[in-house]
Chains A and B, each alone.
Chain A
Amino acid sequence: MSDAHLAIVLHAHLPFIHHPEHEAFLEEEWFFEAVTETYVPILLAWKRLSDEGVPFRVTMTLTPTLLEMFVNPLLRRRCGQYLNRRIELAQAEARHRGRSTGERAVALHYLERFRRVRDFLFRTWDGNLVPAFKEIQDAGNLEVLASAATHGFLPLMLTPNAVRAQVEIGVETVTRHLGRRPKGFWLPECAYRPGMDRALAEAGIRYFLVDAHGILNAFPTSPHGVHAPVVCPSGVAAFGRDLESSKQVWSSEEGYPGDGAYREFYRDLGYDATYDYIEPYLHDDGVRRNLGLKYYRVTGRVGLHEKQLYDRAAAVRKAVEHGGHFVFCRQHQLRFLKSKLSVPPIVVAPYDAELFGHWWYEGPEFLEEVFRASQCVRDDYVVSTLSEYLDQHPAEPVSTPSSSSWGEKGYFEVWLNGANDWIYRHLHKAEERMAELAGRAAGKKKPAAAVRAALQQAARELLLAQSSDWAFLMTTGGGAPYAEKRTRNHVHSFTRLYEMIRSGNVDRKYVERLYAMNPVFPELDCRAFL
């Protein structure tokens, strides 16, 4: 067996979106779509590998907010309703007289797919995917990484208390759900600032990931480039992202997902069907949106109206072919690296999990093939989790990674620009106020139950306001109004709670109402903010 390693790292994250006050809420569908198109198909692919006895290894973040959504009863119920609506639509499509034979074949594929997802989700796992991931973790195939409690953008926080709280509450939440204390940490958006690793060390974390230039610009420079971890002065190891494997999958120009055989993301039945026919399946506002039934393939560089019919079997064949190509490239890359590096090399290939299945429909089959084909090249490299690598090889040299993120342009521009810079003065003020409240509560012997509940809720509101997703959406513009609303409302609720706690006049109903709106981190410990 070889002493070169490939680590596939998937980052699954969604912000906490839960709106019991509405019958249906558009943004909640992000979660249902991700469950239907990514999480369940990936789990099904892993199940096939387990059944075949392929000893695959994957490192994956399940962010605390995502875990809280998996277990949420309302979202589980609504996810079932979402799947039922999709199944109804797929059935109508399969029976539709106006569809050609080829289109019906695609519709039948969707029907079968949606039914399989529903069976897996509700018959096997009662709508909750946490035990499904836990089973794979306990079998030794999956290493789950912790992440910040609400995916807060840590380098733009003002106080070390706020960073520590995001880290500690994140680690606690992942431990509570997965029953195992995570060894690694996914920095939200791979965003790192020198010194932040101390908070990780305090939380018992062994390693984290940064983008390639975080390692390439580390001081002092590592002779191994991104292909072996460095160790920070705090003792926490840092892995760097491999660019070659990243580009092969992510790049819109030369990446695999752009192949003509794959399903076209942008051509959706929600826009193609006649309005009267599709209207019952649309959201309450009646606006046409993607419905997840896509009949066409990428085809090539042609207009959306020139796309050709999707052929599922051909697309899966292509995914298998690309999986083999990816393995071939890693085989040669790692052979080369082994000849050049004085330490066993590792190629760390991190991706957004939602890339596989949701964006790149055949992505789960590709991943499956990567693991399967890697078995055939064990003389050249082995697929490992990141902590398996660290168990065998200590990280060296001691070096401090450079400030960086995996966002566009590589630094913090996406999360700090004219569209979202206004949020930071409010978030920073709230950070300081939360530290003040936590300090006052720690000074008292035992605060009243109502005050304790208000304090916990204030912490939740601050954490939810800090989600990096809001700043991101403000930058891209698409979901900006919702993102602004979430930020303002959480900061507003926090400030109200702060004033209540300070005045000693806590409105219990208000606190309960806020918790019912966003039931996250039920056992939150406010001492994390000290």
Chain B
Amino acid sequence: MAKTTRAKRASPPPPYIDRGEPLPRSNAENRIVALVRSPEQIYLYWDVETEVRVAGNPVVVRVHDLTASRAYDLDPPADADNWYLLVAPNRTCRFELFERRGGLLRRLAASGEVTTPIRWAGESGEYVPAEIIQAVRYPISRQAAAAARRARATPGGHPAEVAANPARRAPRAAGAPGAAKAPPPDRPAGPPPTPIPVPWEKVFAAAYAGGQ
């Protein structure tokens, strides 16, 4: 009887989901790449050669803010290989990757220049929610969408949610997939910055004034 109860309680194994062929975490080369994400955020990712990785020396990311003519260093956590950097709109930046050896820095790689755009002073809510686009273009089952929403609502369930709320980030074991995505200390602690609420009619009015 007890055996039956145990059998009933045992949860079924999670269904196998094919997420494709595994890809290497590193290409064993020194590089740093910067991508503009929004007027306030630049995404950085980097990779190091095997000998640097094996040596276990920390890396330093040097930010050259060319617009403000200043530079500063970021000290990412040891297992991080990417970073969402908060910047101001309309800035041009360049990045360098260093290896810290004792008190010395050895330059490993440099990124190209990237420029953040101007923040749009439009009204919020102009954009079609991604859920609607999904239903329009990629109609999947509602159950799957609901499951995805539930996963997003669970702390640590969805990486996007985690990124926006570092405080709610579930701890990850070292070596687990995504372990290297440590929370960058300068990520926004609250919700992402909201657009400045200037009604676009005013923007137009100003624009058309020039056409008269």
Q: Does B128 contact A250, Cβ atoms closer than 8 Å? A: yes
CA A288 to CA B18, docked complex, whole Å: 21
CB contact under 8 A between A489 and B138, given known A402-B118, A407-B127? no
The minimal Cβ–Cβ distance linking B172 to chain A, given in whole angstroms, is 12
Residue B126 CB within 8 A of the other chain: yes
Stretch at the interface among A92-100, A103-111, A112-120, A473-481: A473-481
Q: Does A478 contact B20, Cβ atoms closer than 8 Å? A: no
Q: Does B23 contact A488, Cβ atoms closer than 8 Å? A: yes
From A212, A250, A352, A403, contact of B36 by CB (8 A): A403
> What 1/0 flags go to B107-121 for Cβ under 8 Å of A?
000000001111010
Using a CB-CB cutoff of 8 Å, which residues 143-176 of chain B contact chain A? 143-145, 147-149, 151-152, 158-163
Residues of A within 8 A of B143 (CB): 287-288
From B120, B137, B210, contact of A13 by CB (8 A): B137
Residue A136 CB within 8 A of the other chain: no
Residue B140 CB within 8 A of the other chain: yes
- Minimal Cβ-Cβ distance residue in A for B37: A416
Residue A22 CB within 8 A of the other chain: no
Residue B62 CB within 8 A of the other chain: no
Residue A247 CB within 8 A of the other chain: yes
CB contact under 8 A between A491 and B117, given known A216-B207, A290-B139, A480-B148? no
CA A424 to CA B117, docked complex, whole Å: 20
CB contact under 8 A between A477 and B152, given known A222-B207, A487-B20? yes
Residue A14 CB within 8 A of the other chain: yes
Stretch at the interface among B38-46, B48-56, B97-105: B38-46
- Minimal Cβ-Cβ distance residue in B for A469: B138
A residues contacting the other copy or chain, number (CB 8 A)? 83
CA A359 to CA B129, docked complex, whole Å: 14
Residues of A within 8 A of B211 (CB): 223-224, 340-343
Residue B72 CB within 8 A of the other chain: no
- Minimal Cβ-Cβ distance residue in B for A404: B117
Q: Does A477 contact B23, Cβ atoms closer than 8 Å? A: no
Residue B27 CB within 8 A of the other chain: yes
CA A100 to CA B142, docked complex, whole Å: 27
The minimal Cβ–Cβ distance linking A234 to chain B, given in whole angstroms, is 17
Residue A252 CB within 8 A of the other chain: yes
- Minimal Cβ-Cβ distance residue in B for A481: B17
Residues of A within 8 A of B207 (CB): 216, 221-225
Residues of B within 8 A of A305 (CB): none
Residues of A within 8 A of B19 (CB): 481, 484-485, 488
Residue A408 CB within 8 A of the other chain: yes
> What 1/0 flags go to B199-212 for Cβ under 8 Å of A?
01001100110111
Residue A122 CB within 8 A of the other chain: no
The minimal Cβ–Cβ distance linking A120 to chain B, given in whole angstroms, is 22
Residue B122 CB within 8 A of the other chain: yes
- Minimal Cβ-Cβ distance residue in B for A155: B36
CA A78 to CA B29, docked complex, whole Å: 46
Residues of A within 8 A of B210 (CB): 223
Q: Does A421 contact B82, Cβ atoms closer than 8 Å? A: yes
The minimal Cβ–Cβ distance linking B161 to chain A, given in whole angstroms, is 8
Q: Does B137 contact A14, Cβ atoms closer than 8 Å? A: yes
From A30, A410, A475, contact of B139 by CB (8 A): A30
CB contact under 8 A between A478 and B39, given known A216-B207, A488-B21? no
CA A287 to CA B39, docked complex, whole Å: 42
> What 1/0 flags go to A73-89 for Cβ under 8 Å of B?
00000000000000000
B residues contacting the other copy or chain, number (CB 8 A)? 67
Q: Does B135 contact A424, Cβ atoms closer than 8 Å? A: no
The minimal Cβ–Cβ distance linking A406 to chain B, given in whole angstroms, is 7
Most buried by B among A13, A287, A425: A425
The minimal Cβ–Cβ distance linking B81 to chain A, given in whole angstroms, is 8
Q: Does A289 contact B35, Cβ atoms closer than 8 Å? A: no
Residue A303 CB within 8 A of the other chain: no
Q: Does B132 contact A359, Cβ atoms closer than 8 Å? A: yes
Q: Does B36 contact A287, Cβ atoms closer than 8 Å? A: no
Residue B131 CB within 8 A of the other chain: yes
> What 1/0 flags go to A204-217 for Cβ under 8 Å of B?
00000000110011
CA A46 to CA B143, docked complex, whole Å: 36
Residues of B within 8 A of A408 (CB): 127-130
CA A400 to CA B163, docked complex, whole Å: 32
Residue B22 CB within 8 A of the other chain: yes
- A sample of 17 cross-chain residue pairs with beta-carbon separation below 8 angstroms, ordered by A number, consists of A225-B208, A247-B126, A340-B211, A403-B116, A403-B117, A404-B117, A409-B38, A411-B36, A413-B37, A419-B159, A469-B138, A476-B148, A477-B152, A479-B140, A479-B144, A481-B18, A488-B19
Q: Which positions in A face B, CB cutoff 8 Å?
A: 13-14, 27, 29-30, 33, 155-156, 158, 193-194, 212-213, 216-217, 221-225, 243, 246-247, 250, 252, 265-266, 271, 287-290, 337, 340-343, 352, 354-355, 358-359, 402-404, 406-414, 416-419, 421-422, 424-426, 428-429, 469, 472-473, 475-481, 484-489, 491-492
The 3 closest A-B pairs by CB, nearest first: A477-B148, A488-B20, A418-B159
**Sample of 12 more A-B contacts, CB < 8 Å, known A352-B137, A354-B137, A359-B132:** A27-B138, A30-B138, A213-B120, A223-B207, A225-B207, A247-B126, A408-B130, A410-B126, A421-B43, A424-B35, A481-B18, A488-B23
